Structure 1
Amino acid sequence: LALYFHIGEREEKCIIEDIPSDTLVVGNYKVQRWDIHKHDFLESAPGLGMFVTVTSPTGEVLLSKLYGPQGTFSFTSYLSGEHIICFQSNSTRFAVTAGSKLRIHLDIRVGEHFLDESSIQAKDKVNEVNVRLEHLIEQIHHVTREQDYEREREEKFRKTSEETNSNILWWAIVQTLILISVGIWQIKSLRDFFISKKLV
């Protein structure tokens, strides 16, 4: 996931990321501040920090830390589900004067373990193959976890759909019975009315 978004200097903005359990998440971000004189975003925002908060699907805070105007954060998910990642600058200016607009470039990588090429090159060929093999095994485990999570979500969705269809069927049956009952009652009422008026 790579994107950028704009926030106010005192504003908090959150994104929701659906993450499988036991998955490493690494995020890189960079903050740019709007320059009213240049009418453009500056390449950097010196002196401005960014609070990064990550909340699990149960509401548990997995990460809450102040970083600089550019940084990398990481956390491991313990539960499958929607994790909320929030960003807010550490600007101390009052809301009235803090009118500056910020642009945040964000790159989130889920379940990726990066190879350190420099350390690999320093080792012999056997070790290089070994390291790359371990990396591939980690990637396979990640793909397996991702598939298990997708299967779990699909099963939940299927159960919900089946329950909904079942409820619709029962509601249709109940409606039909009500209509039949009302029809029989109306026929009986009309018959009794005609008999009482000696029309039949």
Structure 2
Amino acid sequence: MKLFSHASALLLTGLSLATALKFDIAAQPAHLLKPRCIRNYVGAETLVVVTATLSGSKGDGQTVNIDIKDTVGNKYGKTKDAVGETRMAFTSHAEAAFDVCFENILADGRKLGLARSVELDVDIGADARDWNAIQAAEKLKPVEIELRRIEEVVSEIVNQMEYLRRREQKLRDTNESTNERVKYFAVAVMLTLVGLGAWQVFYLRAYFRSKHLI
């Protein structure tokens, strides 16, 4: 039983959709501000939990703002003057990439060189759910809850593969449609050139005859 539990945990680690990232973001004057964004893809109606842990403290001359939005215009949350651990959860509205953007504003009168360290965790789908709470509520055994997690992760992978298949089909259809249009355009150009050449021959023949050259 323990071996099965460890194997299940290892499989979950391999299938995990969570991402973790550490980086520093330098403080910049407001007029030179360039947000730093981390992008992830998410399917429609998928739970996402974003956890950002920042160094520093309020009043240290830096103001870090966090903004979450996707590439189709949906906005999922914004936190101003974030310090310590900040946690934001949302359910996606569309199949699209979403950005977690950080901006670090340097306070007036402060010199350049200040920075905040950021540790970012993005949990998507099954990884975003509170499995401990589910286990307690449904009184499930550890093996049962791990099987539930595996089932959800595999389901998400299947959905992702289906999305990629649909996207590949759409790209193939677009490519075939473009090829057809290019072919028709090439035929039209050839017919135009042939027609223009024939017109030039008749025009020159008529011109030379009018000048009694032929």
- Cα distance in 1 for partners of 2:126, 2:117 equals 25
Residues 13 and 136 of structure 1: CA distance in aligned 2, closer, same or farther (over 3 Å):
same
1:37 alignment partner in structure 2: none
Larger relative helix fraction: 2
Shift of 1:106: 2.9
1:182 corresponds to = 196
- Rounded to whole Å, the distance in 2 between the matches of 1:6 and 1:175 is 56
Aligned length: 184
Which residue among 98, 103, 106 is the counterpart of 1:83? Answer: 98
Give the root-mean-square deviation of aligned CA atoms: 3.2
Q: By how many angstroms is 1:194 displaced?
A: 2.2
Indicate how the Cα distance of structure 1 residues 118 and 56 shifts in structure 2: closer, same or farther if over 3 A, else same.
closer
Q: 1:97 aligns with which of 99, 110, 119?
A: 110
- Equivalents in 2 of 1:190, 1:4: separation in Å? 76
Structure 1 unaligned regions, length at least 5: 32-43
Instruction: State yes or no: 1:196 paired with 2:214.
Output: no
TM-score, normalised relative to structure 2: 0.69
Query: 1:161 is matched with which residue: 161, 169, 175?
Result: 175
Cα distance in 2 between the residues matched to 1:49 and 1:105 = 16
Check conservation: 2:48, 2:124, Cα contact below 8 A: yes
Q: Distance in 2 between matches of 1:98 and 1:160?
A: 52
C-alpha spacing 1:9/1:128, structure 2 compared with 1 (3 Å) = same
Could you say if the C-alpha distance between residues 136 and 93 of structure 1 is closer, same or farther in structure 2, counting changes exceeding 3 Å? same
Offset at 1:77?
1.3
Once the two structures are TM-superposed, the CA of residue 80 in structure 1 deviates from its matched residue by 0.2
Q: What residue is the counterpart of 1:110 in the other structure? A: 124
**Structure 2 counterpart of 1:26:** 49
1:133 aligns with 2:144: no
Deviates more, 1:105-114 or 1:76-85: 105-114
Give, in angstroms, the shift of residue 79 of structure 1. 0.5
- Aligned-pair CA distance for 1:4: 4.3
1:68 paired residue among 83, 86, 89: 83
Point out where structure 2 has 5 or more consecutive residues left out of the alignment. Answer: 1-18
Alignment partners' CA distance in 1, 2:152 and 2:92: 16
Give deviations 1:49-106, integer Å, cap 9, x for gaps. 64322113431211223442444433221210122221124x5712x63622344343
- Once residues 163 and 63 of structure 2 are traced to their aligned partners in structure 1, the CA distance between those partners, rounded to angstroms, is 35
Task: Say if 1:69 and 1:160 are closer, same or farther in 2 by CA, change over 3 A.
Answer: farther
Q: Is the 8 A contact 1:25 1:112 kept in 2?
A: no
- 2:56 aligned with 1:45, yes or no? yes
Structure with higher strand content:
1
Q: TM-score, normalized by length of structure 1?
A: 0.73
> In 2, Cα distance between the equivalents of 1:166 and 1:156?
15
